[in-house]
Amino acid sequence: MNERRKRTHISAVRRAAALRELADLGCSQIKASALMGCHRQLVNRICRKHGIEMPPAIDASKRKEVIQTLIARKQPRIKIAQALGVSKSRISGLLQEYGIEYSNAAGRPSAALTLRRVAAIQEFATLGLSQNQASILLDIEPCSVSHLCKRFKIRMMDKRGRRPILTNMIIRDYGKEGMTTAVMAERYSTTTNSVSATISRLRNEGRLPPKPGEAKRVCEKYGISA
């Protein structure tokens, strides 16, 4: 078994063990997916493969009452789906089945709430949190966090929890006294090759100055006075 397959296998086994413990605690699949930072479909697939039975989030006989309560609180469809432990697409069918009217604008956040979320996400980014972690802490969907990051140009760790890309950190520190590639690599917990490759790319993009003497060499090459 190669290293990549081995890591995937170990991850699946650990997730299955975690899901068994969550099932014993009475946790539903939708709640488990939020706690583990993965999609509900993945949780469902692991449960079926390993024979894990997780309780529903809400008993079917109480669904209508719960939906009406959440709509009265102006909760979005995704929150209703999470509360019921069903997919977002299933909510439309339940609304028709129970004859409940729902406005798509009901669950939209206000401008003030959006700005508060953006401020929180910006602070999470400085702490090195991922978008999935931010979505759990803010109790919103990962896609909502991703949308806000793109809209307000916030750079966070990716969904797998890897460190942020080096670009911004290198641009910030490049040229400072003592900031060699080795020092940068140690500071960013990466390799000198990664730092060197990123610096070369940024130079080619014109986002970092060229190497000392490089500008003069280029001018001489094309017969231009530096």
> How confident is the model over 44-54, as pLDDT tens digits?
888 988 899 88
SS3 of residue 157 by DSSP: strand
- In the chain, domain spans: 3-50, 60-98, 111-151, 167-219
pLDDT in tens, 133-184: 788 788 777 888 888 999 999 988 665 444 556 788 888 888 888 888 888 8
Q: pLDDT tens digit string along 183-200?
A: 888 887 778 888 888 888
Q: How many CB atoms lie within 10 A of CB 94?
A: 16
Write down the pLDDT at residue 152: 92
Q: What percent of the chain has pLDDT over 70?
A: 81
pLDDT of res. 148: 92
Question: What letters, b where the CB count within 10 A reaches 16 and e where it falls short, cover 12-35?
Answer: eeebeebbbebbeeebbbbbbbbe
* pLDDT, tens digit, 9 for 90 and up, residues 10-64: 567 888 888 888 888 888 887 788 777 777 778 888 898 889 988 876 776 788 8
